[in-house]
Amino acid sequence: MKNPITPTRIERAMRENDFIVSKTDLSGRITYCNETFIEMSGYTEDELLGAQHNIIRHPDMPRGVFQLLWDTIKAGKECFAYVKNMSKDGGYYWVFANVTPDLDDRHQPSGYFSVRRRPKPEAVQTITTLYAAMLAEETKAGPRDAVAASTAWLNKALDDREASYERFVLSL
């Protein structure tokens, strides 16, 4: 089901020392959220717990970025990414996210743990241009081939920079 919230141009800026923390189960349902997540998202804790983490997905985010993120964490690796989230009132906030598998006693993934902090403004400018190009590829390809098209575009852009996505985002 699509999020019925209409995006606005109102930015919610994270404070310098803010950290947004959340945990999800393996399917992406929120099992924990800290006060900063509640504040920035505009949802109550009750609304967030049990909801899919994509409740805060902003339509300006290319689906190819989420494919990369899920592929990385499902492979047992941590992922760094710039993400534009949407709050309950339609506002938005950018984060620099670190998502890692949460391992059980047998070292098997039991969910995912994410810590997000305020990104550098110059990094957001760079990533906004990159994501807009990915979204254009998704639109051109249509819904069925959108993820493959934006992922292919991203991979070519990264190859041209001779960098992985992780190395690229960490360099910003």
Tell whether pTM > 0.85.
Answer: yes
Write the pLDDT tens digit of every residue in 129-156: 999 999 999 999 999 999 999 999 999 9
Model confidence at 4, pLDDT cuts 50, 70, 90, reads: confident
Model confidence at 36, pLDDT cuts 50, 70, 90, reads: very high
CA distances from 111 to 29, 35, 60, 116 (A): 9, 20, 26, 17
User: What mean pLDDT is predicted for residues 8-31?
Assistant: 96
- Structural domains in the chain plus CATH codes: 19-171 (3.30.450.20)
Q: What is the pLDDT of residue 2?
A: 56
Strands (E), 25-141: 30-33, 79-86, 92-103, 109-117
Could you give the CA distance from residue 69 to residue 47 in angstroms, rounded to a whole number?
24
